[in-house]
């Protein structure tokens, strides 16, 4: 199985929806996009225990994907998933496969847009500005200073959460951090520099969607205590 990202598909879609095995979405679909409802993967089909009905399917997918893959390496190990996309979502799953809550913050691009939109002199940066290379630690140029500051803020939030779940009051042993999302590659060296141990999984949501589609929804949720 191989997962990858491509630019937004044209309309009509290059692959007829009737041939799709599964799809998932958070919120409403874009106008004019008609996908087969029976093939939609819902929150109820993600085999994690304790999922609240309002949780986004993206967080459920990455939480289950990280936990199930970690279980093959070290059973009963809790996981913390940092999904660094438009939002930076932190999702905690215990060693028994139960959702244990999380945190939400603005992702790097959202932070940059907020800075530009809510201040008088800070510029609006396009995506190419900040993705490669990462600016030096203390930039002179304003745009680079914005990028470095937002990246450091995201990395600090992840690192702090990882240390908290592995602190003296942690339950269930060492919690493994999984890093995914579009900003994961940029955040990875900053986390490594702080001594944070993590597993990088850039396509975790897509991998998890594909894996669940192959099961035909036959996996059972963890009941747990």
Catalogue the active-site residues. Answer: 58
- Name beta bridge partners: 176: 79
DSSP code of residue 75: T
Residue whose entry in the numeric block shows the structure tokens 């599964």: 22
Query: Hey, is 148 helix, strand or coil?
Result: helix
Residues in the chain: 225
Residue 106 DSSP SS3: strand
Helix 142-165 vs helix 108-118: crossing angle, to nearest 10: 130
In DSSP terms, 23 is beta-bridged to: 40
Residue 78 near residue 176 (C-beta atoms within 8 A): yes
| Ordered DSSP codes for 154-184 | HHHHHHHHHHHHTSTT-SSSPPEEEEESTTH
DSSP state of 22: -
Give the Cα separation of 202 and 211 in Å (integer): 15
Strand residues in the chain grouped as ranges (E) = 79-84, 87-93, 99-106, 176-180, 198-200
């Amino acid at each position: 199985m191989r997962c990858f990202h491509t630019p937004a598909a044209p309309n009509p879609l290059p692959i007829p929806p009737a041939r799709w095995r599964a799809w998932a979405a958070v919120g409403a679909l874009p106008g004019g996009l008609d996908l087969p409802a029976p093939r939609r993967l819902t929150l109820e089909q993600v085999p994690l225990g304790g999922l609240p009905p309002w949780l986004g399917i993206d967080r459920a997918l990455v939480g289950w994907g990280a936990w199930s893959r970690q279980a093959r390496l070290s059973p009963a190990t809790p996981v913390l998933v940092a999904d660094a996309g438009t939002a930076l979502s932190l999702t905690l799953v215990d060693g028994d496969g139960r959702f244990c809550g999380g945190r939400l913050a603005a992702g790097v691009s959202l932070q940059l847009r907020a800075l530009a939109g809510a201040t008088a002199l800070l510029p609006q940066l396009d995506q190419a500005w900040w993705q490669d290379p990462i600016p030096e630690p203390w930039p002179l140029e304003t745009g680079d200073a914005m990028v470095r500051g937002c990246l450091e803020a995201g990395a600090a939030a992840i690192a702090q959460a990882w240390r908290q779940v592995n602190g003296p009051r942690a339950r269930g042993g060492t919690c493994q951090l999984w890093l995914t999302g579009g900003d994961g590659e940029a955040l990875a060296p900053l986390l490594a520099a702080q001594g944070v141990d993590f597993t990088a999984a850039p396509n975790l949501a897509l991998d998890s969607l594909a894996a669940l589609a192959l099961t035909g929804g036959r996996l059972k949720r963890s009941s747990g205590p």
